[in-house]
Amino acid sequence: MKIDKFAWDQENLEHISKHFVNSIEVEQVFDAKFIVRKTKEDKYLVWGQAYSGRYLFIVFRYLGKGNIRVITARDMMNKDKRFYLRSVK
């Protein structure tokens, strides 16, 4: 999946900041190796790494034509990190 544009607004920026994540880190995840899974509710789950090496878990909605709206982003829990590291080898 190719992501071209992120739909950021005050609501989702404030939400991810509660998890001490910023939009730059989220966008960096999509520049590297990441894992994406679609849910039954048409949301997407992403596991990836920012340039700093920080492991992030991201949830977004696909808006079409390469555009997404991030719902939340947080540091991966240990089980998420194990899943990610096993999957990207």
Helix (H, G, I), strand (E, B) or coil at 29: helix
**Total domains in the fold of the chain:** 1
Burial of 18 (0-12, 13-18, 19+ CB in 10 A): exposed
pTM (predicted TM-score): 0.94
pLDDT of amino acid 30: 95
User: Is the model's pLDDT at 89 over the cut of 80?
Assistant: no
pLDDT of amino acid 24: 98
User: Is the model's pLDDT at 53 over the cut of 80?
Assistant: yes
Q: Which CATH number covers residue 80?
A: 3.10.450.530
- For the four alpha carbons of 13, 87, 63 and 5, in that order, the dihedral sign comes to positive
Question: In angstroms, what is the C-alpha Rg of the chain?
Answer: 12
- The residue segments making up the domain with residue 11 are 5-87
pLDDT of amino acid 5: 96
